[in-house]
Structure 1
Amino acid sequence: QRPIFRTRPVVSLLHAGVFFAFVFYGLVNILDLLEGFTGFSTLHRSGVAALYNLIADLLSVAALAGMLGLLIRRFGLRPFRFNQRVLLLPSVRFGISRDSAIVGSFILLHVGSRWIGQAVRVAESGQPDWSQPTASLVATLFHGWSEAALTMASHVTWWLALGLILAFLPYFPYSKHIHLFMAPLNLILREARPLGQLEPPTSSDGTIGAERLEQLRWYQLLDAYACIMCNRCQDVCPAHGTGRALSPAALEINKRYYLNRNLAAFAGGATSPPLLEIATSKEAVWSCTTCAACVRICPVGNRPMLDLIDIRRALVNRGDPLDPNLQSALESLARYGNSFGKPARQRARWAKELPFSIKDARKEPVEYLWFVGDFASFDPRMQENTKTVAQLFQAAGLDFGILYEDERNAGNDVRRVGEEGLFEMLVEQNLAALKKAQFRAIVTTDPHTYNALKNEYPAYGFQVPVYHYTEVLAELLERGILRVQQPLRAAVTYHDPCYLGRYNRITAAPRRIIRALGLELREMPRHGENTYCCGAGGGQIWMDSGGQERPSEQRIREAVALGDDLRYFVVSCPKDMAMYSDAVKTTGYEGRLTVIDVARLVAVAIGIDGVEREAAPVESEAR
C-alpha cells in the first residue's frame, strides 16, 4: 500500500480502516458465532478478552467511517473517469458503480449491525464496558428500553450481522473484493524478476505474443482478479494523461468482467474473442510508452504493461500494419543497426572532431567499454553532449574505448514494440562485437541501452558490470579526480529518465553531481522512481504523435511552475534531450528554460576549454 499512501494519504487512511477491520472481523465473526450458540461472551472481561474488545470496537468505527468516506468519494466526487476514447465493455460502466454500492452497503450493514449489537448488549448489562468505549457511548441511546426490547434488538443485530455474510458469499467471487484473496496470491506467486527484464514471449498455435485471453500467462489472468480498481495506474499513465485511449485500469477491469460472465466456458476451453475487442483497443496498445509507472504504482503487483507488449508482439508477428515512421525505423534497424538509416561506418564520425583519439576496444584492452548508443552517435543535437562526455572521461584519465562501427542498437525499445526477432538479431550482433573486445565494465550514455545490457542481455549469457555515465561522473567528482574549478550558481531541476530512475533506481548519482557543482536543485512533484515519462519510450520516439500533446510538454510546464528564476532543465538521457528540446519550443518556454545535459554542466564547472561558451551561460562564483 505504500505507493498509494504517498500519493493519496486521506483515501489511504480510509481504506486502511476498512482493510484492517475486514481482516480482524474474521475472528470477530467466529467469536460472535460461538456467543450465539454457546452463550460465551467477552463482555466486561479483562486481559486478552478486553484487548480483543477494544480492537474490535475501534476497528468497527474505523471501518464505518472509512466506508462512508469512500462511498461519498465514489458517488459524490466521482474521481474515477475514463476518457471517451478508452475501450470499456458495456457491463463495466454500470458494473463498477453497482459493485461499489453492493459491497459498501454490505460492509456498512454488517459492521454497523455488529457494532450496534454490542451497544445493545452493553445496555442490557446495565453498565459501561471500558474495553468498548464507542459501543458504551452508543449504549446510552438505549437507556429506558425494556428488557424485552433490548433482547429483541440483540437478536436482530446478531442475525443481521452474520446472516449478511451468508447472503453476500455467492456474490463475493464476482465482486472487486475478491482481490482480498487474489492480491496476496498475486504478490506471493509473482516471479522475482528485475523490472527491466521482459518476460520472453508466449507462443501457441504459431502465434507469438497474445491475441486472446487464453494466450496470456496464468498470472496475467490472475492480475484481473487481484486488481482493486483504485485507478492509480491510470492516474500515473502518461498516455492517458495526454488524452490517449490507453487506461491500464480499464484493461484489467475489462478482463475481469469478461471472465466473470464467461468463466465456465473459458475454463472449459472455449475460444475467447480477440483482446482488441474485449480488453483494450489497438490505439491504446500503440499509445503505451512502456514507462512502467503502472507496474510500479500498483499495490497488488499487477503488470498491465506486459499485456500490451504481448499484444504488440502478436500484431507484429502477423504482419499488422504499423505506424509508417515506426516501420521505417525498424527497417533501418534491421539493415543498418540504427534507427537513423545511417551506414555503420558513420557511427563514430563525431569522435573525429575531438582533439584526441578514442581507443578501439576491439583492438586493445580497456577498463571501460563505452556503449554510446544511437541518438548519442547520430543525432546532431546530441553529438555535442557525446563529445563532452568523451572529454570528461579523457580529462579524468579514464581508460575507455568504443566499438566504432561494430556497435548496434541495444534493442531495448525494439523488444518493447514487439519485434522479438529483430531484438534477438541485434543482441546476436552486439554479442559478437563484444566478444572481440577486452574490458572490465560497460558504461552507457542512454538509459534504454543501460537497461537492455544490464537486464535483458544476461539471458543470452552476457554478465558484465554495467554503469550509466552519471554514476561514473559522480564517482570521479567525489574522488577529486575531476575538480570543480568554477562552482555554478543557478536554480535547476532534474528529470529522472524512466529507464534510469524507475526501472533501475539510479536516482542519487545525477543529484550528487548537481549538488557537487554548487547548483540549487528544485525537485518537480514527480521525481525519482515516481518520475513522469517524457513520452519517448516503447518506440514512441519513432511514431507520429498525430498532433496530440506529448507528455514532455506537460513535464516542461511542471518544471516552469517551480519558479520564474528556474533556468535549467537537466537531463541525463539523449532521448530526453531530444524530447524536451522540442517541448520547450512547442510550449513557448524557449529562452526562459534551457534543456541541458548534466555532463555539459560538469564540463563548465571543471573548466574544459570551449564547453562553457557552447553549453549555456551558467553563472559561476569566479564571476
Structure 2
Amino acid sequence: MLEGLRIRATGFPDFETVSFVGYFVAIVVEAVGIDATGAEALYWVGWWSHSLIAFGFVAFVPYAKPFHMISSFANVVVSDEKAGARLPSVPADLDADTGAESIDSFTWSETLDQDACTKCGRCSSVCPANASGRNLDPRDVILDLKSYREDVDAGGEEVDIIADGGESVIAAETMESCLSCMACMDACPVDIEHLTSFTKMNRQLVDTGQVNSEMQDVFQDVMQKGNTFGDPNRKRGDWSDELEFDVTDAREEEVEYLWYVGDYPSFDDRNKKVARALARVFEAADVSYGILFDDEKYDGNDIRRTGEEFLYMELAGHHVETFDEVEFDHIVCTDPHSFNTIKNEYPEIDYAEFADDPVMPFEYDEEWNADGEIGVFHWTQVVSDLVDAGRLDLSGANLDYTVTYHDPCHLGRYNGEYEAPRQLIEATGCELHEMPRSRDDSFCCGGGGGGLWMEFDDEPKPSEERLREGVEDTAAGSEIEKFVVACPMCTTMFEDGRKTGGFEDDLEIVDVAELLEEALDSKGALASVGADDGTTAASAD
C-alpha cells in the first residue's frame, strides 16, 4: 500500500513499472480520486504509523508470547551439546545453595530454557515416564517454573520450588518419576536442557532430607559398602570365580585395558553371566585387561542424577585416585552408565576444591583426563575394533537367530554410539530387525534416574511397553527370538518386564556379549580359553 501511495505521489515514474504490485495499487489510488498531494500526505502518515507500530512491537515482545521467537533462537545458540551427559558440578562449600532453594537458584541459561519453551509438547510425547502414567510432563515442569517466576516478579507469594507434600511449584513425586533418559531433550526443537533443571530440583530434595526412602537405602548402601547392593565390597570380584582362567588384578600388573566392571555385573546373578561372557570374549581376543576387584566402587552416575552430589564426588575422587595408582592405557566399561560418567563427568570435577575437605575420603588434587589422553570406552566399541582387526573368529554366519536390539539411553542418546553393538550382532550371523523406536528415538527401559531402585505403579511399565514393541511392531513380529541389550541395567529391567508383562514364552533377553560368547563357542573358538594357565575350558554359562 505504501509503495502504491509513493508511486502515485511521484507521478508514476516509468522505472516504477518493475514494482508491478505497487504500480497497480497506485492506479487504484488514482482511480478512487486521490491526487498526488493527497497520496503524499497519506504516504507519510502510513510510513510513520508503520514505523511506530514496528518499534512498539519490538518493545512489546519481551512481555508477550512472541518473546519465545527470540529466546528460542538464543537458547539454541548457547546450548551445551554435552548437557545431560555432563551435569554441572557444585561448590565445595556445604553451605552453598546447590539445589533449587528458590527461583533465583536457577542459572541464566536455565531461566532461558523456561522462556524458550514453545509449548509444542514434543518432550511430553516421547517421555517414557509420562507414557507409563507417572506424574511427569516435562513441558509442564518447565512452564510451571516460568509461570512461578513471573508471578514472583509481579509480587506474588513465594513457595518451595519442590517439596514432598505441602504447597510447592513442583511435587517431589514428579522429579522422582524422571528416568534421566534425555528423550525430552533430544526431541526439543529449541534445545531446552530439561535434565539440568530436573537434577537441580533433585539436589534440593536431597539437601532438605525429602528424598525417596528407597533411594535413601541405596545412598546408605553406597556410603557403607561402596555398592548399590549393600553387599561386602570384598565380594566384588567373586563373579570371576567360575571362569576357567584367572582375571588379572590391575593393581598388581600393568594392563592395556582397565576394565571397570560395575555394580550389576559384579553382584547381580543374572548380570554376572554377562561379565563372564565378556571376560571369555576378551580372552579369546587375547586382550590385555585387568580389574580393580574391591578397589572398584559404584560409579555414581545415577545417584548423581537423583540429587546426591556429594556422595558422587566421594566416589569420583576415590576412583581417579585409584586410577592414578594403576598402570593402564584405556578404560573399558561394561555398563553405559559407568561409561558416561567416567568419560564425560569425572574429567570435569575440580578435585582440588574438595581434596582438603576432611569429609572427602581422597587426597587427589589434580585434573583427571582433562585432555582425553586416557581413552574411555564402552566394551562394544573395543570389541567391535577387535572384530575389525580379525582377532575374533566370527564369520558372520555363526548363529541364525532372529533378533531385535534395544539402544541403551546412556550409550545412544548420551554418547551417540549406535553402530558398534549392531556391528557385533551382525558379526554373529543373527538377523537384526529394528524396532520403530530405535537409535536416538529409543524408548527407555525404565531403569535410569533411580528407576531401577524405586517402585512405581506403572501401567504399562516402560520395560513391558518396549518388549511389546519388540514382538509386535518390528517387521519380524512374533518371529523375534531374542531381545538384545548392551546394558546391565537394561537386562535387569527387561528380565523383570518379561515376567510381569507375560513375555516369557515369546523371547529371551540376552546381552550382546552373550551372543558373542555363543557364536565363538559354536566354532570352538573358546576351547583354548584358559589353557595357558593350566585350566580346562568349561562350557559357557
TM class by shorter-chain length? 0.7 to 0.9
Per-residue deviation, 1:37: 12
Give RMSD over aligned pairs. Answer: 3.5
Task: Report if aligned partners of 1:323, 1:544 keep a CA contact under 8 Å in 2.
Answer: no
- Identity level (%): 35
Q: Does 2:376 align with 1:466?
A: yes
Separation of aligned partners in 2, 1:326 and 1:36: 75
CA distance in 2, matches of 1:330, 1:213: 27
Aligned partner of 2:453: which letter?
W
Deviations 1:121-158 (A, max 9, x none): 636548xxxxxxxxxxxxxxx9xx96359999x99999
Counterpart Cα distance in 1 of 2:348 and 2:318? 15
CA, structure 1 residues 471+205, in 2 after alignment: closer, same or farther (shift >3 Å)?
Answer: closer
Moved more, 154-163 or 556-565: 154-163
TM-score (norm 1): 0.72
Residues 581, 262 of structure 1: CA spacing in aligned structure 2 closer, same or farther, 3 A cutoff? same
Counterpart of 2:392?
Answer: 482
Q: Distance in 2 between matches of 1:473 and 1:491?
A: 22
Partner of 1:4: none
Structure 1 segment 69-80 matched on structure 2, within 5 A = none
SS in structure 1 at match of 2:509:
strand
Q: Per-residue displacement from partner, 1:144-201 (whole Å, max 9, x unpaired)?
A: x96359999x999999987875775665333332111112222333456464110123
1:190-222 Cα offsets, whole Å, 9 max, x none, are 456464110123789643211321111111111
Where does residue 343 of structure 1 map in the other structure?
232
Q: Secondary structure at the match of 2:452?
A: helix
- Of 138, 159, 174, which aligns to 1:273? 159
Higher relative contact order at CA 8 Å, sep ≥6: structure 1 or structure 2? Answer: 2
| Paired residues of 2:185 and 2:191 also in contact (CA < 8 A) | yes
Structure 1 residue 275, shift from structure 2 partner: 1.7
Work out whether 1:571 is the aligned partner of 2:488: no
Q: What's 2:468 paired with?
A: 557
Q: For residues 233 and 468 of structure 1, what CA distance do their matches in structure 2 show?
A: 28
Cα distance change on mapping 1:262 and 1:316 into 2, 3 Å: closer
Contact 2:5–2:26 (Cα < 8 Å) also in 1: no
Distance in 2 between residues matched to 1:490 and 1:33, nearest whole Å: 73
The residue number in structure 2 matching 1:588 is: 502
From 173, 179, 195, the counterpart of 1:283: 173
Is residue 312 from structure 1 mapped to residue 312 from structure 2 by the alignment? no
Question: Does the 8 Å CA contact 1:292/1:305 hold for their aligned counterparts?
Answer: yes
Which residue number in structure 2 is paired with residue 500 of structure 1?
A: 411
- The residue aligned with 1:542 is 453
Between Structure 1 and Structure 2, the one with more helix by share is: 1
Which of 41, 60, 65 is the equivalent residue of 1:176?
A: 65
Contact kept in structure 2, 1:176 and 1:225, CA below 8 Å: no
Task: Specify the SS of the correspondent of 1:537.
Answer: coil
Distance change in 2, residues 1:351/1:550 (3 Å): same
Contact 2:301 2:338 in 1 (8 A): yes
Contact 2:84 2:195 in 1 (8 A): no
Q: Secondary structure at the match of 1:307?
A: helix
Is the counterpart of residue 403 in structure 1 residue 309 in structure 2? Answer: no
Q: Which moved more, 1:594-603 or 1:456-465?
A: 456-465
- Structure 2 counterpart of 1:226: 116
Hey, what's the Cα distance between the residues in 1 that align with 2:192 and 2:431?
Answer: 37
The answer as to 2:216 corresponding to 1:327 is yes
Pair 382,210 (structure 1): closer, same or farther in 2 beyond 3 Å: same
- Report how far residue 504 of structure 1 moved: 0.5
SS in 1 for 2:478: coil
Stretch of structure 1 that moved more, 378-387 or 515-524: 515-524
Structure 1 unaligned spans of 5+? 1-28, 54-117, 127-141, 616-623
Quick one: structure 1 residues 372 and 39, their matched pair in 2 at CA, closer, same or farther if it must change by over 3 Å? farther
Give the whole-Å Cα distance in 2 for the aligned partners of 1:285 and 1:474: 37
Change beyond 3 A, Cα 1:544–1:510: same
Q: CA deviation at 1:259?
A: 3.5
Instruction: Provide structure 2 residue ranges, at least 5 long, that are not aligned to the other structure.
Output: 350-366, 528-536
Task: Write the letter of the residue equivalent to 1:542.
Answer: W
Change (3 A) 1:205 1:366: closer
Is 1:450 matched with 2:339? yes
SS for the counterpart of 1:230 is coil
Deviation per CA, 1:34-71, whole angstroms, max 9, x where unpaired? 9599879999868xx87xx9xxxxxxxxxxxxxxxxxx
Give the partner amino acid of 1:495: H
TM-score (norm: length of structure 2)? 0.82
Instruction: Mark the CA change 1:272 to 1:125 in structure 2 (over 3 Å): closer, same or farther.
Output: same
In the alignment, which residue of structure 2 is the partner of 1:619? none
Q: How far apart are 1:279 and its partner, in Å?
A: 4.0
Structure-2 change in CA distance of 1:224 and 1:609 (3 Å):
same
Cα distance in 2, alignment partners of residues 36 and 209 from structure 1: 63
Comparing 411-420 and 180-189, the one that deviates more: 180-189
